[in-house]
Each structure stands twice: as C-alpha cells, then as structure tokens.
C-alpha cells in the first residue's frame, strides 16, 4: 500500500535535499514536498541545487519581512497545494508560520494525520514569551504525532506531557558520503587547497553564522588563553558571516601571537575543504536546535568540541571519545580542551576515527526510515 506523504517545510535547504531524496526512494512512499519559500537571503547565502532534487515539490508564493526581530513569512496557496496532493499523512516542519497553522486546520478538516517535525530543545534561548508558549502548546495538542532528531528534542516534547509512544526519532543527517569524499580529495591535495584558501598549516575551525549566541567571542577569548607557543603553531579559522564579524575582527587583531582567518561564507563545495584541513571543529554555541555542522565535521573525520547546549550534543558527542563537551562561558575549560586535542596527534587521530564511525549511523537513509516508521504508525488509524 502506498502512503502519500506531504512535507511542509520552510525553504529548499541544500542539506535537506539528500534526506528527501532518500525518503522518496523508500518503497511505499509517494513524497510531495511543499516549500514555503525557495530561500531566505536575509539569513542564508546557500546556493539552491534544484538539479539534485529527485522528488515532487512545489514552492508557494510568499512574502517575507523582518519585523521587530522576528522572521515573518506569509504564503498563498497552502490549502490548494494540500488538496491537489491529497496526502494520507502530513509532516510539518515547525509551527512558526501562518502556513503551518493552515496546514494543521486542513488536516483536521480532512481527517488527515498531522505530524510535527520538531527540533526545539529545553536549552533553546528562543523560548519564554508567554503568548508564544501558549500558541505552541495549543499547536502541539492538536498534532497526531511528532518526529524529532534526537534525545534533547524528545525530552523537550515530554515537558508538554506528550506520551513517548507518539514521539518518533528520525536521526538528523547530512550527506555523509559527499562530505567524506570531498574531504578525502582535499587532503590528497592539501598543499594546493591551503594555498588557494589561504589557510594556516594547522588550525581550529568554527563554521556558522557570526552572531554572539553562537559563542564566537568565547572561542576567540579561549584561543587567546592558549600558550603563545601553541598559538604560533595552530591558527583559528571562522568560516561564516554575520552581524558580529566586524567586532570579532577588531578583537582578533589584538591577539598576538596567533593566526586568525576570516574565510567568509562558504558554499558546500568549499566547506568540506575547510573541515578536512583543520584540527577540529568547535561549536561553543549558547543555543542551537541541533547543529548540522557537527554532522558535517564528523563525516569529514574530525574531533569535535561542542557546547552542551547544542541539540546534537547528547546524540553525537561522547566526552573524551570523539571530542569534548564544553560549557558556554567557561573559557578555561574550552581552552583546556582545545589544547588537549591540539597537543596530542594520537588522541586527535583516535577521536577523528571515532567521529567518522559514529556518524555513519546518522545517514539520509536512516532518517528516511525514521519518517517511514512515523508515517506508517500514525497513518494506521486513519
């Protein structure tokens, strides 16, 4: 029996395309993806790889503005798109937009199981506004079931009194094969790529938006705490862009000795090279629903240092096995853990191998199987 599954999600993110392709290849799944917009240029500079899409999809007409710090996205046609698709199950990526509520209403009116794909976690700094929390609780109450990427998101939903048997896990994933192959190519031509990208011989790496909540100033301060002799050997590279870049560059100029490089935003094709040639990835974030850069780094065979507040930390990071957990704001701890990996090549190599092996079970195919289980279970009672 074929299940027509409609996924309602915000934009055509390059890291989601491999997941949707894997799901579309699953026997018994007829996938239709409804995107609320093609991209969001106010936050992301991703190239949209339409040619890689192997599933049915539709992009709705949209209007987007930033209002008082909030991302407002309005759409036309969500009801028509769902009626045309006639889904057996709907999977909705979030509750932030009016289109999410319209999809929920459509599901109720058509007696269609409605699953929420939720990555929120208890540590998320975006929580707290009373009206938002009230609306969120009402949205959750009306859902048939829930899909989460890992442990932190599962625990978050349980705080709303949601029964465990209504929560399904689809492990958050990236295209591991792509990143592993690109990293191998970069390492095989390391000298050329270091020269082309103007990279230090050795360096710590941060990947993401250059905004305060990502812990970038903590990382810079922790780097400054390292022994001068170590800073002479190991640089620090920020791959990304954002509002805090000018201030971060100003503070970086005062650190000597040291080799601090601001690479700017990197598209997927270049990103694997930054991972491959680095010592480790460091994500000292104060808030992050997951942190797919950790998946990418592990697929490239890197040790990782990750904030305990990142949604992925409980699933992907085993302390002193494939990297370390860190506590946001504890600069001494972060510096000590950076040093521990940097001064021991054997320890770093073991952690890198453990990272690579562990992330192999977080693949697009594994994610797709989690979605199949959720849809088949919730669709049984229709």
CATH topology of domain 3-173+364-379: Rossmann fold (3.40.50)
The pTM (predicted TM-score) of the whole model is: 0.95
pLDDT value at position 53?
97
C-beta of residue 250 within 8 angstroms of C-beta of residue 276: no
The structural architecture, per CATH, of the domain 176-359 is 3-Layer(aba) Sandwich (3.40)
Give residue 378's pLDDT.
85
- The pLDDT score that the predictor gives to residue 191 is 96
Cα–Cα distance for residue pair 375/48, rounded to 1 Å: 28
What integer pLDDT is reported at residue 69 of this predicted model? Answer: 63
Q: How far, in Å, CA of 165 to CA of 335, rounded?
A: 42
Please compute the mean of the pLDDT values over residues 89-106 and round it to a whole number. 95
Residue 222 near residue 334 (C-beta atoms within 8 A): yes
- Counting residues of the chain whose pLDDT is more than 70, the rounded percentage is 96
> How does pLDDT run across 180-226, given as a tens digit for each residue?
999 999 999 999 999 999 999 999 999 999 999 999 999 999 999 99
Burial of residue 18 (number of CB atoms within 10 Å: 0-12, 13-18, 19+):
buried
pLDDT single digits (tens) 29-70: 999 999 999 888 666 678 888 999 999 999 999 998 877 666
Confidence category of residue 2, pLDDT binned at 50, 70, 90? very high
Query: What torsion do the CA atoms of 218, 221, 223, 227 make, to the nearest 10 degrees?
Result: -140
- Residue whose pair of structure tokens reads 């990071």 in the numeric block: 317
Domains of the chain, by residue range, sit at 3-173+364-379, 176-359
Q: Fold match between 3-173+364-379 and 176-359?
A: yes
């Amino acid at each position: 029996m074929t299940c027509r599954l409609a996924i309602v999600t915000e934009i055509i993110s390059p890291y989601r395309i491999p997941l949707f392709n894997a799901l579309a290849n699953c026997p018994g799944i007829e996938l239709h993806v409804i995107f609320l917009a093609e991209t969001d240029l106010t936050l992301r500079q991703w190239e949209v790889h339409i040619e890689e899409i192997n599933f049915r999809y539709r992009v709705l007409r949209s209007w987007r503005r930033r209002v008082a710090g909030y991302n407002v996205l309005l759409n036309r046609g969500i009801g028509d798109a769902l009626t045309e698709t006639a889904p057996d199950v709907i999977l909705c990526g979030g509750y932030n937009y009016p289109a999410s509520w319209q999809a929920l209403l459509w599901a109720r009116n058509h007696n269609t199981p409605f699953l929420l794909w939720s990555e929120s976690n208890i540590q998320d700094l975006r929580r707290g506004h009373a009206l938002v929390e009230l609306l969120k609780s009402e949205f959750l109450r009306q859902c048939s079931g829930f899909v989460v990427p890992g442990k932190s998101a599962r625990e978050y939903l349980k705080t709303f009194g949601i029964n465990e048997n209504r929560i399904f896990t689809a492990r958050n994933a990236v295209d591991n094969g792509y990143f592993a192959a690109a990293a191998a190519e970069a390492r095989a031509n390391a000298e050329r790529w270091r020269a082309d990208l103007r990279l230090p011989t050795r360096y710590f790496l941060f990947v993401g938006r250059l905004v305060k909540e990502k812990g970038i100033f903590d990382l810079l301060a922790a780097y400054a705490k390292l022994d001068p002799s170590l800073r002479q050997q190991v640089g620090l590279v920020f791959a990304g862009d954002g509002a805090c870049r000018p201030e971060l560059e100003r503070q970086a100029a005062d650190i000597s000795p040291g080799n601090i490089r601001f690479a700017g935003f990197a598209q997927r094709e270049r990103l694997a090279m930054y991972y491959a040639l680095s010592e480790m990835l460091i994500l000292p974030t104060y808030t992050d629903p997951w942190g797919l850069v950790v998946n990418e780094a592990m697929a490239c065979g890197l040790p990782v240092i990750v904030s305990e507040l990142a949604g992925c930390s409980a699933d992907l990071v085993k302390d002193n096995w494939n990297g370390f957990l860190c506590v946001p704001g504890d600069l001494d701890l972060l510096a000590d853990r950076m040093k521990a990996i940097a001064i021991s090549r054997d320890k770093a190599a073991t952690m890198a191998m453990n990272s690579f092996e562990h992330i192999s079970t977080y693949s697009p195919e594994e994610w797709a199987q989690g979605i199949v289980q959720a849809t088949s279970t919730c669709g049984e009672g229709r």
